[in-house]
A = this chain, B = another copy of it.
């Protein structure tokens, strides 16, 4: 089963919009056991869309076309594909009623263009859009044995339609797929190339599951993938391989799951242990705390904290002595430790983390951009601090890396206790 994705939209070709639908669809198809072999992008232009459809029909069994289902004059996808497969468009009554209702509620009258949003390709199946107005289509062309799928361009509409409508339809229409089972392992504190070197012989010897490394946002993920008939069979192979990897690189491992994150793992661990956390951020200016707060349920463990951007704020908000900062410098072990200590005292939490450093582009007190101290006050233990150097990163990269390093420091302290 060979699949191809055609993304339609002049705004994509102009580079005004980044196509996140195509990678999302690739992942969804891979999970179903469908390989995407080709991806193409064309503008809102009939001639070029037809050329892309001709090529896709020659190369692929499944052609997924995204975008161009809207009500404006340049939305031509549905009309062009219908003509390409020699079928008229027909109305989906429920979708038409929804459009009428939508406009009536707003005291407006739908234009003829709006009504076409409820149409799908005759002989195919309408895919309901539960978060927007334009329906999608699944259509199987007998003559060429090609499956066609039309999906709306807005990512939240597309994703909802894929999960609620398309995946069940494809499972039914393509019963012989061998799904891909994956296990995603997440690492922090080691580079992609060092991790690859650590695992070189394992990767070379391994064919099922396959092992793929990806570096993203200062983390490295390893994706193990195996095709199997049952999830139990896949699970066994995946876990055996994961254990071999953990023996080599366990110290950098923090969790598994494609949607997992360091913040998520830490918040869960804090919840399990009934521990509370606070922070004082200079360098990161609130990014550590706002990252923690992205995790639902964080309020049980996260109290709050301080953004002590100005040096004076470290004294006024936290009570760090002026002399300590003057003697050691604002980016120093002593200042980082004192910030964590005083934050814990003010917030009365179990744990307090602090960040001070040079985001750049310039130096501070003769320290180069990328110098970072992270402090940690863990219960009534002695305060700790770790120094980091990330000299070649941008201002924003230094801050993001520091947030992850802070999360990892707390996680490691929790594991040690």
Q: Give every chain B residue within 8 A of A12 (Cβ-Cβ).
A: 23, 26, 39
Cβ-closest chain B residue relative to A394: B156
Is A296 at the interface (CB under 8 A from chain B)?
A: yes
Copies of this chain present in the complex amount to 2
Contacts of A55 in B (CB 8 A): 55
Residues of chain B within 8 A (CB-CB) of A18 are 18-20, 23
Known contacts A286-B286, A396-B294; is A306 also within 8 Å of B302 by CB?
Answer: no
Known A-B contacts A286-B289, A304-B307; the reply to A361 vs B296 at CB < 8 A is yes
Is A214 engaged at the interface, CB distance under 8 Å to the other chain? yes
Docked-complex contact B395 and A294, CB < 8 angstroms: yes
Residue of B nearest to A36 (CB): B13
Residues of B within 8 A of A20 (CB): 18
When the two chains form the complex, which single residue of B23, B299, B307, B361 contacts A289, counting CB atoms closer than 8 Å? B307
In the complex, A92 has a CB within 8 A of chain B: no
Quick check: is A43 within 8 A (CB to CB) of the other chain? yes
A198 sits at the interface (CB 8 A): no
Q: Which residue of B lies closest to A52 (CB)?
A: B38
B303 contacts A304, C-beta separation under 8 Å? no
Closest to A396 in B: B294
Within 8 A of B (CB), among A183-199: none
In whole angstroms, what is the CA distance A14 to B221 when docked? Answer: 15
A214 touches which of B11, B48, B302 (Cβ 8 Å) = B11
Q: Is A346 close to B, CB under 8 A?
A: yes
Contact B293 A286 (CB under 8 A): yes
Residues of B within 8 A of A273 (CB): none
Q: How far is the CA of A55 from the CA of B346 in the complex (A)?
A: 66
Interface residues of A in 37-81 (CB under 8 A from B): 37-43, 48, 55
**Which of B37, B279, B289, B308 is close to A48, meaning CB atoms less than 8 Å apart?**
B37
* Distance A369 CA – B30 CA, assembled complex (angstroms): 35
Query: Which stretch from A122-130, A136-144, A244-252, A310-318 is at the chain B interface?
Result: A310-318
Whether the pair A310, B316 counts as a contact (CB closer than 8 A) is no
B27 and A38 contact, CB distance less than 8 A: no
The verdict on A16 contacting B23 (CB below 8 Å), with A39-B40, A289-B285, A299-B310 known, is yes
**Contact B309 A299, beta carbon cutoff 8 Å:** yes
Residues of B within 8 A of A25 (CB): 15
Which 3 pairs from chain A and chain B are nearest by CB? A286-B286, A15-B26, A285-B293
Give 25 pairs: A residue, B residue, CB < 8 Å, sorted on A: A11-B212, A11-B214, A13-B26, A13-B39, A14-B30, A15-B26, A16-B212, A19-B22, A37-B43, A38-B42, A39-B42, A281-B290, A285-B292, A286-B293, A286-B305, A289-B309, A290-B290, A299-B309, A299-B310, A303-B310, A304-B317, A305-B306, A305-B307, A306-B307, A306-B317
